[in-house]
Each structure stands twice: as C-alpha cells, then as structure tokens.
Structure 1
Amino acid sequence: MKQYLQPIAWGVAMASIVALASNFALSMVVSTAHAATSHDHSQHAPAAAAQTRPGERWATDEALREGMTRVHESVQRSTPSDPRQPLSDESAAALQRDIEAATSYLIANCQLPEAADAALHGLLIDLLKGAEALSETDQREQGLQRIFDALERYPQTFAEPVWREGSVAHLH
C-alpha cells in the first residue's frame, strides 16, 4: 500500500508547493505594481481639485507621452482585430506585463505638477487594476474594458499632441 500512497502524497505535496509559489509570484508582481502607484506624492490635491475646467486639459511631459504611447501600442498589438474574438492567454499575459512596465516607467519618471500628477494617478490605477484582471479568464473582458476606458480618458484629461480624439475607438 505504501508503494501507491507515497508517490501520490509526493505529487500532492509538489503540486501544493508549485501552487503556493505561483500565488506568491503573482502577488509579488501585483503588490509591486500597486506599491509603484503610491510613490511619494503625499501632498496631492484632492481628486475634485485636480479637475480642470470644462474644455481644458493638463499639459503633458515627455515621460507621460512615452509611457501612455507604450500602453496604447501594447493594447493595439495584443487585442484581436475582431472585437468578437476573445483575448488569448498569451496576449493577456503580454499586455499585463507591458502595462505594468509602462506604469512603472511613468511613476519613475514623474515630472508633472501635483494637480496633473493626481489626475494621472486615476488613470494609472485603472490601468493597473485592468491589467491585474487580465490574469483571470472570467474577469478578462472587464479588465480589458477598464484599460480601454483609461486610454479613452487620457486625451480627454491631458493635452496630448500626438493622439487625436477617439484614437482607441477601434479597439472596442
């Protein structure tokens, strides 16, 4: 009997270790990304005060344009051309990595005034939460929509000289 139970017990133990290690690795990536969004800007204006007047948008800097362009291009590369086709596991994982890398770049190179930076944080949070949801098949569509919404809000919130209104409309 021992000859049958021992291999099964070892298999269960190894599967548990692999599952625990995978969960730990995923939580490290997510917590690192979340920690990155809380860089030292403790003097931010409240969200309501960070709003511009209707028709006005915040100025951008090179790092903001670069980081958001990276996100935009990754979304274009990763999403299927047919909106009825689901995002594959490989594409979802690549998009998640790209968004986390781009937001880390944005945070590391943040040079915006406080009020504009506070407005950017709302976009970054939505991008990171959307990217996090991509890892769960049943949440992937909502995560992707959250990313699309953040990309749509970017040119409405910031004066982006490269992007034009509705530049991500074809992604839906």
Structure 2
Amino acid sequence: MMRTVSARGLFTACAITAAALAGAPQAFAADAHNHGANAPALKLNAGSKWQTDAPLREGMVKIRANVEPKLHAIHGGRFTTAQYEAMGKAVDEQLAYIVGNCKLAPEADAVLHNVIAELADGAGVVGGKQAAGDRSKGVVHIVNALNNYGQYFDHPGWKPVQAGH
C-alpha cells in the first residue's frame, strides 16, 4: 500500500530539517524519532530505487568524500576533537545544500527525510552538538545513512561505504 504524505506533513518535515541545520539538531533528532507516522520508513518505490537529482547526488558524494577516507583514523582512535567538529560542520553544510536545492517527487522526498535525519543525528554527535560520550558513534550514523541512501536511492556508481579497519 502506497502511503501518502500531506503537504502539511512535508512542510513540517522540511521546517524541522531547516531548524536542525540552523543549529538545533537535538530538536530535529527528537522529532525524527517521535514523528514516525509522518516520515515513511525507508522503502523502495514499488521494488525500484527512488530517483535522485543532481543536487542530492552532489551533496551525498561530498559527504561521503569527507567521511570515508577518515574511517581508518577514526577506527584507530587517531581522530581529534577538532577533526570531528570539522567533519560535523562539513556534513551540516552539505545537508543544508541538499535541503535547499534538491527537488524530488513528494514520495521520494518523504523517504529521503529518514536518511537526512540520520545524517543530521550523526553530524550532531560528531560535531559535539549532541552529547554521546564517543563522537565516533556519530560516524556510525553517518555511514549507516550513506549506505541506506545507496540502498534506497538510484545513484549511478554508488557503492556501500567500507569501514576502515
């Protein structure tokens, strides 16, 4: 059964995303976890991946390029607080770009909000805006979101992020 999302629901999700990217990640994270009825679970589009557009693909490639090469250093415990903060800022900047420029069909956009929510959660932890004790936990959220993006959205050439060991 295809789930429809009201214009009000999409507006609310976009407003929440904008608030998160403006420096309120805790509010966004809480709403993302408590707002399950308005954000459809990650799902395929009748068995196919959701279409993407150039701004979405560009932003996701930049997030990946910022995170993936650093996974080995993070795993090895050689990542500094300043490096985590820079990573969080870089992810937040790309999320702002995606939200401001990406124009997907309403159903695809609603599913994308799950990926955006996890990326924002991860950026909040990595950047130190959300208390988590271990900033590397935020990286786990970011990697999971990147892999979910590739699993549910059509991005030619996208491969799962490989954790550095």
- Identify whether the pair has TM-score above 0.5, normalized to the shorter chain: yes
SS in 2 for 1:58: coil
Q: What value does the CA root-mean-square deviation take over the aligned residues?
A: 3.1
1:98 to 90, 93, 99: 90
SS in 1 for 2:24: helix
2:146 to 142, 147, 151: 151
Note if 1:139 corresponds to 2:131. no
Distance 1:115 1:53 in 2: 11
> Residue 141 of structure 1: CA displacement?
2.2
Q: Percent identity?
A: 26
Q: How many correspondences in the alignment? A: 136
Distance 1:133 1:47 in 2: 24
Aligned to 1:123: 115
> Residue 82 of structure 1: CA displacement?
6.6
1:83 to 63, 75, 84: 75
| Alignment check: 8 A CA contact 2:42 2:114 kept | no
Distance 1:58 1:79, change over 3 A: same
Distance 1:151 1:48, change over 3 A: closer
Structure 1 residue identity aligned to 2:103: Q
| Structure 1 runs not aligned, ≥5 long | 1-26, 39-44
> Residue 62 of structure 1: CA displacement?
0.3
SS in 2 for 1:163: coil
| Alignment check: 8 A CA contact 2:122 2:141 kept | yes
What are the equivalent positions in structure 2 for 1:160-171 lying under 5 Å apart?
A: 160-164=155-159, 166=160, 168-171=161-164
Structure 2 residue identity aligned to 1:151: L
| Alignment check: 8 A CA contact 1:78 1:94 kept | no
Distance 1:59 1:153 in 2: 14
Distance 1:31 1:162, change over 3 A: same
More helix by share: 1
- Highest Rg: 1 or 2? 1
| Structure 2 runs not aligned, ≥5 long | 1-19, 32-37
TM-score, normalised to structure 1, is: 0.67
| Alignment check: 8 A CA contact 1:126 1:147 kept | yes
State the Cα deviation string for residues 104-126 of structure 1 (Å, max 9, x = none).
00000021000111111111111
Distance 1:113 1:143 in 2: 29
TM-score, normalised to structure 2, is: 0.69
